[in-house]
Structure 1
């Protein structure tokens, strides 16, 4: 069998095939490199700025810096609210090998409470592992010393210096100043709604009540920032730049610290409110509400036990009685009603009414008693104010009617907010027929009008409303807007509360103001005046009106005896006054709960306070 010889290889064809394949491969490589080069050009040139920014965002972190809160001073430059440095114990969880064991040993060393540990856990859940989380925000010197000695045993735990709000005068100013507390969920929602949340990025507290809340925008300031370079895990490497925060503005208030402290101490264990106000411009010199509480409790987080004690107290220390307490105005409004009766022509300065000690509505078998059981005899408007004759006002109130009374008294500000520069204010109740129908679905009765004539029935007012109404009367119709703010740190007064002036009380006969004011002066100066005993021998002239407000009605034939009824049902003692009698510079309004008569309790307090006020003004004038 003949073997077939292998064909001779065609080297030329193979070379041509290799060359063609090489060209194809080269074209593919060139195309790939061209695509890579184009993509590099696109990234490095066309989109350089975009990716550079994204790279910086991963490398550079902007950290907000909280501004220092503005300070609050009284009218003489004494500090009322300050920022005090404290030592805060803080943990970086990432640097702690065994967090549970560390917390256990810290508890043994520093006596941490369960609430403090629970607050730490809540804060830790909101922060990243490499951020500082506060464990104890106000270390005592002993705690700081104990920890410093053993700090080497606690990696990841350190003591940091912070500024926190502090109220050096505690309870005496709480209801005027308010307080700051930690920002909660409701605060965050409100800030977002107002597009202010970015300005609070580094802030831990916010104004909750009083001046602190009302002027929060001015007190807070503007957030700053610092740019820091971070590694791939977000840890700070170095600081690149700093934009310092703008501190909040300082506030100067109209309050006088010495006067406020004196009034607060004078009230002692009594419950109620005392306000001193300049009738010419509404400047509040003192505003005390008792009982009160220490606002410093809220700054770093009030304990459950402390908060329950405030919330469950039957004396309601959280209530600002000066602006939210609803009291029957009682006889303090008799001068205002007298002006109205004169204006309506129901009486004249010479008109007299016989007072046998009681008043009856025709066809009604009920007697409305005067506080003086045997009566005042023949009474004109001057005597009715000076001796506080109830029967006189029963009569004129019934003749005027509830519609006329309500419409006129609303002009003094009863039944509406006064506009004082704190948010915690109630309108109280100036009753009308419509109000009663809406509230009780009942008609208005004549007997209720009779009680309205002596400031009782459904009529309630706040002490600040009564202070404004008193100022309006002695200003002959000009109604001031009460205010706590005197000026802001730049020296210019800015009052968001005063968006417009309150309309004046307009009457046809200006002499009717004088009738009421002369009678109020005689309440103090006349031997028959209900405040004469309290002000006898005073070094200044004054005027005023006492009031004794019934908390519980007395049945027909029943006799009021304070010793036989529970304290909470005893009469409130009221006094509203002013001094000097001519061109008054100060208004005083006192409401003391369940304390007794206005002439026997409230008026003597007013005398002591006004004595102190004029002595204080004289002392400062001589400095």
Structure 2
């Protein structure tokens, strides 16, 4: 067997090879060390601030501080909207290990409402996971203590002390002051930082109109939190600036007197100061308690308000549009005087009905047997329909429209409240645009007594009455006192007439409350001189030859009762408009309500 030859070792070659490999390995190690050193230099020196901030953010959280909302007071400084301390429950989704289970446990502990959970879930899907979200606001003392005792069980859930809105007088000022409520999805998209921080926005009334001024300016704070997201300490704080306080022209005592005057009947009452346009009282009945909405109203409570046939959520003072009825007659009389169509002592014969030419249709007067021979003063005092049928026919609808518009009919007054409706002051053009139909002569007659297409709000009637009282110089009505009040926009010039024309119409309204006038009984012993006008507006049409005035109709079909007035006549300090839905008679229902308000105002003015 042949043997394989053995290799001869070469120590020198092996040593050279080893040294070469050792040098290469050392070079690689040095290169890796330099790379590591360079990276450490970048991390520790070049990018130090970035990573230091990121590190701090693992334990430091920036939170918005909601500003204190500005308070709202009446003219005497009595609080109508204030802020009270309360506790709310906040959840940070990112810090909650099992959110569905946590919410279920909280629900058992605190009896969470469906509206709370729906609201939280909407916010959770629209906000960052690291942001603390309100789950339940305005916890009572028992709920606060119960959660505090079990707080250790709920990672990522905390109690926060904050201010919540409160309305001390509830329904008494509910429509005027309005309320704040939680942001809905639409509002959230356009919400300011202040609104997001407070998670609320003015929804109605003064709270909505002046929301930006009431909000204040949001603040911020940096807080250190533990691994569970609980706050340990505040590191830095930029204080929030509170919102502006608002003082209303409203008088709380007169507001209460006006509410009592309506005596639980559906309707509206507005009182203005003629010289300034200040709103002294504004009542809509029935009303609602705005405190129900502050923390989020329950579904049952909201459904109850919506389904109430009396519609308590509707502000009848600015959104209730009613036929003005005979309260429109002084303004039609002024149109007749200004146009030269009628003179103060021109007479019209009232047999109890009026016809157009040879038409067999009779337009009836409320006084079935007629008023006989009447002039302008007697026609207003006794509310003679025939006189105003004839005057309206001679004026024509377009002239009536032109003359009544400066008093504020058919357009918004510009009051600093949201949602005001303009009513309707008809004309040929209006009917063509709105109904696509021509105007008929008979419609002019009906318009002359405030029926037909005519509609007005209680605010419009009060403003028009104030214009009569001030002889055309009343500025647009304002709830909030200067200098915070919003500026007037597109102010329309008031009515213009000569001194004799003003005096004639005012004298005719004085005759309404004098012996022989339709409101004499309500003002028989008044210690001040009043000018007024009763009104009754039909809710449904009567048959052509009907002698019935609808007195036996069901309550919801009875006539609306209206009354306008101002006093004292020589130096007016207050103008009032009253509308009582289905009240029957202006003289029997609305006039006494106005008397109560005027009495209350003058007693208050005389008090030391």
Say yes or no: does 1:554 pair with 2:551: no
- Closer/same/farther in 2, CA of residues 71 and 153 from structure 1, 3 Å limit: closer
2:578 aligned to which of 565, 590, 611 = 590
C-alpha separation in 1, matches of 2:372 and 2:131: 85
C-alpha separation in 2, matches of 1:2 and 1:88: 97
2:109 aligned to which of 100, 106, 109 = 106
Deviation at 1:124, TM superposition (A): 8.9
Q: How does 1:84-103 map to 2 (within 5 A)?
A: 84-88=84-88, 94=96, 99=102, 102-103=105-106
Say yes or no: does 1:177 pair with 2:158: no
C-alpha separation in 2, matches of 1:230 and 1:138: 24
1:155 aligned to which of 153, 156, 163 = 153
**Aligned residue number for residue 476 of structure 1:** 471
C-alpha separation in 1, matches of 2:152 and 2:7: 87
8 Å CA contact 2:469, 2:569 repeated in 1: no
Say yes or no: does 1:297 pair with 2:287: no
Range with bigger deviation, 214-223 or 442-451:
214-223
**Aligned residue number for residue 209 of structure 2:** 214
Deviation at 1:114, TM superposition (A): 5.4
8 Å CA contact 2:406, 2:492 repeated in 1: no
- Closer/same/farther in 2, CA of residues 132 and 331 from structure 1, 3 Å limit: closer
TM-score by length of 2: 0.90
Deviation at 1:307, TM superposition (A): 1.4
2:486 aligned to which of 478, 484, 496 = 496
C-alpha separation in 2, matches of 1:2 and 1:521: 149
Say yes or no: does 1:541 pair with 2:542: no
Q: Deviations over 1:220-270 (max 9, x none)?
A: 211111102345675544321111211122211111111111211221221
SS in 2 for 1:528: coil
**Aligned residue number for residue 381 of structure 2:** 386
8 Å CA contact 2:274, 2:575 repeated in 1: yes
C-alpha separation in 2, matches of 1:235 and 1:554: 72
Q: Deviations over 1:527-558 (max 9, x none)?
A: 12222221112111121111111111211111
- RMSD between aligned residues: 2.9
- Closer/same/farther in 2, CA of residues 473 and 190 from structure 1, 3 Å limit: farther
- Closer/same/farther in 2, CA of residues 104 and 591 from structure 1, 3 Å limit: closer
8 Å CA contact 1:417, 1:425 repeated in 2: yes
**Aligned residue number for residue 60 of structure 1:** 60
**Aligned residue number for residue 73 of structure 1:** 73
SS in 2 for 1:354: strand
C-alpha separation in 2, matches of 1:65 and 1:153: 23
1:600 aligned to which of 583, 588, 593 = 588
Q: How does 1:181-200 map to 2 (within 5 A)?
A: 181-191=181-191, 196=192, 198-200=193-195
SS in 2 for 1:532: coil
8 Å CA contact 1:180, 1:207 repeated in 2: yes
**Aligned residue number for residue 509 of structure 2:** 520
Say yes or no: does 1:531 pair with 2:515: no
**Aligned residue number for residue 372 of structure 2:** 377
C-alpha separation in 2, matches of 1:498 and 1:219: 19
**Aligned residue number for residue 577 of structure 1:** 565
Deviation at 1:366, TM superposition (A): 0.8
**Aligned residue number for residue 83 of structure 2:** 83
C-alpha separation in 2, matches of 1:513 and 1:458: 27
Q: Deviations over 1:94-146 (max 9, x none)?
A: 48996477457536xxxx375477458747956869957545733266x667x
- Closer/same/farther in 2, CA of residues 58 and 104 from structure 1, 3 Å limit: closer
Deviation at 1:501, TM superposition (A): 3.7
C-alpha separation in 1, matches of 2:575 and 2:469: 10
SS in 2 for 1:366: coil
**Aligned residue number for residue 7 of structure 1:** 8
SS in 1 for 2:198: coil
Deviation at 1:429, TM superposition (A): 1.3
Gaps of 5+ in 1: 488-492
Deviation at 1:348, TM superposition (A): 1.6
SS in 2 for 1:603: helix
1:567 aligned to which of 542, 555, 577 = 555
8 Å CA contact 1:221, 1:248 repeated in 2: yes
1:315 aligned to which of 300, 310, 319 = 310
- Closer/same/farther in 2, CA of residues 130 and 298 from structure 1, 3 Å limit: closer
C-alpha separation in 1, matches of 2:280 and 2:167: 19
Deviation at 1:474, TM superposition (A): 2.5
Deviation at 1:316, TM superposition (A): 1.1
SS in 2 for 1:316: coil
- Closer/same/farther in 2, CA of residues 239 and 608 from structure 1, 3 Å limit: closer
C-alpha separation in 2, matches of 1:100 and 1:66: 25
C-alpha separation in 2, matches of 1:135 and 1:302: 12
- Closer/same/farther in 2, CA of residues 551 and 379 from structure 1, 3 Å limit: same
SS in 1 for 2:197: coil
Gaps of 5+ in 2: none
- Closer/same/farther in 2, CA of residues 363 and 52 from structure 1, 3 Å limit: farther
Q: How does 1:306-385 map to 2 (within 5 A)?
A: 306-385=301-380
- Closer/same/farther in 2, CA of residues 72 and 153 from structure 1, 3 Å limit: closer
C-alpha separation in 2, matches of 1:103 and 1:32: 55
Q: Deviations over 1:267-290 (max 9, x none)?
A: 122110011110111111110000
2:238 aligned to which of 243, 251, 257 = 243
**Aligned residue number for residue 505 of structure 1:** 495
- Closer/same/farther in 2, CA of residues 121 and 201 from structure 1, 3 Å limit: closer
C-alpha separation in 1, matches of 2:20 and 2:91: 70
- Closer/same/farther in 2, CA of residues 101 and 533 from structure 1, 3 Å limit: closer
C-alpha separation in 2, matches of 1:268 and 1:58: 62
**Aligned residue number for residue 490 of structure 1:** none
Deviation at 1:46, TM superposition (A): 4.0
Deviation at 1:378, TM superposition (A): 1.9
Deviation at 1:338, TM superposition (A): 1.4
Q: Deviations over 1:38-62 (max 9, x none)?
A: 4444444444444444444444321
8 Å CA contact 1:412, 1:479 repeated in 2: no
**Aligned residue number for residue 166 of structure 1:** 166
SS in 1 for 2:481: strand
C-alpha separation in 1, matches of 2:481 and 2:341: 43
